[in-house]
Copies of this chain bind each other. A is one copy, B any other.
């Protein structure tokens, strides 16, 4: 079944993806990458690119999928660490900061294409972030017995704040990141406190 051919094809497809990913940096966005550059980096003739993707957009959307996968790994890792005890917020922020370090370019891709020029890209990134947020909302609702909508709002705000902090972290040195983490943790506490407060009000209203 897994013929030599299909295997080889998958391999060079992977090379194209990795080539694109490796060329991303602070100074280089996906949209500034040319088909020829990516093909060259992958050790392919420009025209061979078409054997794997119809155009750069298709490659880009694949990368966004990949990023979504990474995001889910992040969530999983944070959960595992939380299970072992400790402040949920502290652990989450630290885990996220590690993620930024290890996957800076993937994170940059998400940040940039979220407000990019392709509606399809924007939708794809939004979708990935929405999944991420939804998962967090479920967790918050269950863990803190919150009103459903309030948990949604809290999750959304938290993700927004954390992602924004991640974006800022990209341009920072270690000392600055420490301070940033502290700020982010405080902000997440604000949000959690406020959400808990409003949620209990709603419940009191319902039971009286």
- Number of copies of this chain that the complex holds: 2
CB neighbours of A29 from chain B (8 A): 31, 116-117
Q: Is the CB of B112 within 8 A of A190?
A: no
A111 interfacial contact with B, CB 8 Å: yes
Determine the main DSSP class of A at the interface with B: helix
Chain A residues within CB distance 8 Å of chain B: 26-29, 31-32, 108, 111-112, 114-119, 122, 126, 150, 153-154, 156-157, 160-161, 164, 167-168, 171, 183, 186-187, 189-195, 197-198
Least Cβ distance of A24 to chain B in Å?
10
Contact A191 B32, CB 8 Å, known A117-B27, A171-B119, A198-B186: no
Interchain CB contact (< 8 A) of A187 among B112, B153, B164, B197: B153
